[in-house]
């Protein structure tokens, strides 16, 4: 694949294009396809100042001893602040890598002739030495400590932390290495096998080893008492041009702290102190870590400005803030909406009012609150010891924490959920499944409950809010015009099988129910078998299967065939017998719809044949296969238009397929090309996304595909044939939605490859 580059010449002229081969710094010339004119040119390397390679910068790798910072001044009067690798040089020039995530290039090659001067950025230790904070001997001792930590062996750590001698460890490892059957075992496994250590001791030693490898020179100097933490912070701020903040004198905005999930704040030990729609100021005690800005930018889609604060102050604010976020039951009940709830607990209906117990009120109000917010799932997650009970909602496919309840209420809340879902409150060792039926404002709400034992004698409860699912018109499912017309055509067929495929949570059931709503009429008898029944429709005869009593999808399907059906929907084809029965039903005059957990449409055919279905029968029965995923939709209230960089445009072209991109007459690049990006507002809680949109891949059966199925051709052959007949892949459909301003490439990459 050609590489998109920007070339700056010594005379300050410039050109963009595509390298026709990998850059060889020792070659005299390089071939370039000019972007505007598509002219093939040969450029002399001696005339070039630098070559900029377009692409996203990567700061994921931590800096190591082979890397350093440098300011590079060119003869074209330009300055670049870069990181460089000592080994990545040539006599003709060298490569540099950006330190700024907003850069539009992944690296630059500078020629020797293009340089004016270079100024190396000093390592932190040398910087502290020149500031007079430490002496050369103290610096060398700290560097030696760092070297020892990075090369420390697991056996040495175990010896230091246990009563086992080094000689015993060495002898045990030596014996295992001489045994052909055990020579490939890791050191920790060898010592556990010998009974010298436990799994917990090995895991602790591995954690210590990893901490030692990551230990920075500044932290070592502070531990040795050679400098104070404040002196280190001042030096780091001066070195990287950052400002220092005193969190005691200037406490952060509490609303800003909420702009990052608690898990990220605690794991990375960072603290948001200011937050706007597209910008966030974050305090860190380790500005030398390049992954901080990258990870935060990825998590928030905002520009990150780092400031420096002490680790102790950051930790203190985090602890104080999240302890105060632990909701008291009284406050939580007061803050959640008033309600009048009726819960079906069997033979009697219990009316719950605000005057009843705190736990009853709390559980009921959380159930209603999740329903009102449009959550699809509620997660009750008790932690061990004195840690709080965390309540998280899943909305638009993502989980976020909404409440933290004092640990004293953990057992009572889980027991209450068991009671109203008619489960055994005395059983704590096995998983349990149940259901909650609730009436609120004359609306029936159903929750599917799953209780799962977790470590520390705890139990998690996950509730699926079934009422959150409802029927969408086919026009609202995000189909392209071609796919909508083709899918509707499939639904009008009198018999055959239609499959909707994708992972859990990709909207398969929603799509099938929308399809059934399209053909639901008094002159048609439609049966559905589901587990569970998440969406109900008038006019459908819907059945809940129950594997515990032996009532499976296959049994339901066989029963339907004796109940005069026109259309049958099977929630999932989980086994070979169900698949064979469904295919048989579709060949005997019935329209059958079902789902399958496969990645895409062509793979579905291979999967069913591997399950043992007859290729001949399936080839005759199949009408079409709809594969789909759900991606986050850009918030309509705050999404912003922008002109993408050439590198970003080329990434979209490559993801679509360059040849097909041209054939399908996709938008050409220009200064007028507009895409949309996330920014964040109050309507979307600062995320930049609200709701989801589906991307589809619809394979329609044809004589050529039917023949390929019967010949048991490969997945690649099936895909090639389907695409030649007009099928667009999931990524192609998603990129069309990117150009339509509905989502972005980041979200598409989350769900497709």
Q: Domain residues of the chain, as ranges? A: 3-121, 125-223, 229-324, 326-467, 474-751
Cβ(533)–Cβ(571) below 8 Å:
no
Cβ(75)–Cβ(47) below 8 Å:
no
Cα 596 to Cα 239: distance, rounded to the nearest angstrom: 56
Strand-strand pairing, 526-530 and 496-501: unpaired
> Token pair for residue 297?
């930018």
Q: Which fold has domain 3-121?
A: SH3 type barrels. (2.30.30)
- The CB density around residue 330, as the number of other CB atoms within 10 Å, is 11
pLDDT of residue 353: 34
Q: What angle do CA 620, 621, 627 make, to 5 degrees?
A: 115
Cα 515 to Cα 64: distance, rounded to the nearest angstrom: 56
Cα 610 to Cα 23: distance, rounded to the nearest angstrom: 46
pLDDT of residue 267: 76
Length of the chain: 753
Cα 172 to Cα 154: distance, rounded to the nearest angstrom: 13
- The CB density around residue 224, as the number of other CB atoms within 10 Å, is 13
Neighbouring C-alpha atoms within 13 Å toward the C-beta of 470: 9
pLDDT of residue 497: 95
Ranges of the chain with pLDDT below 70 = 1, 58-67, 86-89, 100-102, 119-134, 136, 139, 141-143, 145-152, 177, 180-185, 207-227, 229-233, 235-241, 288-291, 294, 298-299, 322-357, 467-470, 685
Q: Model-level pTM? A: 0.54
Cα 367 to Cα 377: distance, rounded to the nearest angstrom: 10
Cα 592 to Cα 581: distance, rounded to the nearest angstrom: 10
Q: Please state which CATH number belongs to domain 474-751.
A: 3.40.50.300
C-alpha distances (whole Å) from 123 to each of 64, 141, 240, 475 are 11, 16, 11, 60
Cα 749 to Cα 730: distance, rounded to the nearest angstrom: 11
Q: Tell me the β-bridge partners of 624.
A: 498, 700
Q: Measure the N-to-C terminal CA separation of the chain; round to a whole number of Å.
A: 18
For 23-47, give one letter per residue: b (16+ CB within 10 A) or e. Answer: eebeeeebebeebeeeeeeebebee
Cα 260 to Cα 268: distance, rounded to the nearest angstrom: 11
Tokens 């019935």 belong to which residue? 590
Tokens 């719809």 belong to which residue? 593
Q: Give the rounded distance of the alpha carbon of 50 from its chain centre.
A: 36
652, 648, 641, 736: which is closest to 679 by C-alpha? Answer: 641
> Token pair for residue 488?
């509707």
Cβ(168)–Cβ(201) below 8 Å:
no
Tokens 């799994």 belong to which residue? 199
pLDDT of residue 87: 63
Coil vs helix vs strand at 141? helix
pLDDT of residue 611: 86
Q: Which fold has domain 326-467?
A: Beta-Lactamase (3.30.450)
Cα 314 to Cα 327: distance, rounded to the nearest angstrom: 22
For 389-414, give one letter per residue: b (16+ CB within 10 A) or e. Answer: bbbbbbbbbeeebbbbbebebbbbbb
Tokens 């440098």 belong to which residue? 70
Q: Give the rounded distance of the alpha carbon of 198 from its chain centre.
A: 34
Strand-strand pairing, 377-382 and 591-596: unpaired
Q: At what angle do helices 410-420 and 358-372 cross, to 10 degrees?
A: 70
pLDDT of residue 354: 33
Q: Is 386 exposed, middle or buried (0-12, 13-18, 19+ CB in 10 A)?
A: exposed
- Longest CA pairwise span in the chain (Å): 92
Please report which residue ranges of 588-656 form alpha helices under DSSP H.
Answer: 601-610, 615-621, 646-656
Q: What radius of gyration do the chain's Cα atoms show?
A: 31
In sequence order, the 6+-apart residues with CB closer than 8 A to the CB of 717 are 708
In sequence order, the 6+-apart residues with CB closer than 8 A to the CB of 700 are 486, 490, 623, 624, 722, 725, 726, 727
Q: Which fold has domain 229-324?
A: GMP Synthetase; Chain A, domain 3 (3.30.300)
> Token pair for residue 333?
């009940």
Cβ(474)–Cβ(487) below 8 Å:
yes
- The CB density around residue 561, as the number of other CB atoms within 10 Å, is 16
Strand-strand pairing, 115-120 and 67-74: antiparallel
Cα 282 to Cα 644: distance, rounded to the nearest angstrom: 27
């Amino acid at each position: 694949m050609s590489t998109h580059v920007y070339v700056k010449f010594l005379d300050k002229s410039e050109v963009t294009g595509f390298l026709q081969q990998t850059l060889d710094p020792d070659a005299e010339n390089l071939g370039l396809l000019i972007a505007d004119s598509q002219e093939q040119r040969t450029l002399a390397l001696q005339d070039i100042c630098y070559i900029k390679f377009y692409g996203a910068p990567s700061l994921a790798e931590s800096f190591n001893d082979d890397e350093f910072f440098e300011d590079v001044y060119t003869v074209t009067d330009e300055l670049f602040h870069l990181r460089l690798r000592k080994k990545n040089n040539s006599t003709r020039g060298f490569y540099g890598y950006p330190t700024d995530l907003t850069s539009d290039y992944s690296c630059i090659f500078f020629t020797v002739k293009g340089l004016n001067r270079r100024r190396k950025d000093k390592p932190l230790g040398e910087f502290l030495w020149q500031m007079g904070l430490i002496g050369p001997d103290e610096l060398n001792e700290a560097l030696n400590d760092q070297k020892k930590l990075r090369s420390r062996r697991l056996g040495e750590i175990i010896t230091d932390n246990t009563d086992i001698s080094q000689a015993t460890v060495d002898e045990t490892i030596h014996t295992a290495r001489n045994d052909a059957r055990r020579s490939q075992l890791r050191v920790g496994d060898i010592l556990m096998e010998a009974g010298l250590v436990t799994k917990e001791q090995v895991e602790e030693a591995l954690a210590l080893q990893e901490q030692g490898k990551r230990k920075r020179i500044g932290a070592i100097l502070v531990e040795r008492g050679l400098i104070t933490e404040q002196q280190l912070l001042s030096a780091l701020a001066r070195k990287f041009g950052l400002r220092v903040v005193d969190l005691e004198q200037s406490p952060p905005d509490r609303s800003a702290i909420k702009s990052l999930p608690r898990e990220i704040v605690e794991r990375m030990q960072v603290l948001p102190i200011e937050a706007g729609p597209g910008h966030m100021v974050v305090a860190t005690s380790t500005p030398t870590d390049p992954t901080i800005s990258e990870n935060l930018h990825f998590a928030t889609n905002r520009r990150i400005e780092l400031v420096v604060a002490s680790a102790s102050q950051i930790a203190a604010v985090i602890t104080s803030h999240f302890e105060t976020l632990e909701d008291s039951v009284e406050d939580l009940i007061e803050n959640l909406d008033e309600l009048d709830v009726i819960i079906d607990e069997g033979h009697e209906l219990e009316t719950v009012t605000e005057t009843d117990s705190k736990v009853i009120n709390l559980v009921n109000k959380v159930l209603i609150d999740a329903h009102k917010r449009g959550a699809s799932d509620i997660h009750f997650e008790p932690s061990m010891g004195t840690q709080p009970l965390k309540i998280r909602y899943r909305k638009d496919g993502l989980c976020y924490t909404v409440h933290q309840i004092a640990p004293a209420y953990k057992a009572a809340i889980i027991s209450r959920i068991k009671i109203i879902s008619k489960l055994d409150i005395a059983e704590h060792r096995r998983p349990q499944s149940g259901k909650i039926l609730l009436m609120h404002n004359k609306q029936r709400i159903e929750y599917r409950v799953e209780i799962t034992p977790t470590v520390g004698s705890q139990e998690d409860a996950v509730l699926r809010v079934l009422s959150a699912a409802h029927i969408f018109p086919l026009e609202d499912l995000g189909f392209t015009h071609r796919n909508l017309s083709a899918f509707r055509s499939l639904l009008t067929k009198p018999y055959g099988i239609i499959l909707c495929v994708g992972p859990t949570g990709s909207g398969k059931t929603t799509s099938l129910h929308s399809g059934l709503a399209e053909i639901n009429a008094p002159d048609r008898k439609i049966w559905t078998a589901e587990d569970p029944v998440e969406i109900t429709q008038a006019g459908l005869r819907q059945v809940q299967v129950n594997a515990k009593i032996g009532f499976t999808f296959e049994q339901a399907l066989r029963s339907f065939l004796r109940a005069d059906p026109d259309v049958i929907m099977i929630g999932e084809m989980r086994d070979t017998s169900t698949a064979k029965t469904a295919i048989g039903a579709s060949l005997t005059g019935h329209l059958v719809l079902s789902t399958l957990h496969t990645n895409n449409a062509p793979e579905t055919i291979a999967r069913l044949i591997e399950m043992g279905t007859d290729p001949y029968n399936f080839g005759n029965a199949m009408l079409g296969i709809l594969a789909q995923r759900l991606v986050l939709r850009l918030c309509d209230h705050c999404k912003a238009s922008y002109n993408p960089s050439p590198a970003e445009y080329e990434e979209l072209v490559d993801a679509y397929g360059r040849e097909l991109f041209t054939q399908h007459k996709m938008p050409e690049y220009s200064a007028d090309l507009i895409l949309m990006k996330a920014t964040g507002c109050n309507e979307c809680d600062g995320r930049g996304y609200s709701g989801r949109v589906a991307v589809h891949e619809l394979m329609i059966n044809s004589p050529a595909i039917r023949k390929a199925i019967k010949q048991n051709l490969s997945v690649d052959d099936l895909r090639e044939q389907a695409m030649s007949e007009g099928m667009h892949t999931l990524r192609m459909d998603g990129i069309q939605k990117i150009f339509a301003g509905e989502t972005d490439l980041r979200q598409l990459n989350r769900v497709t490859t």
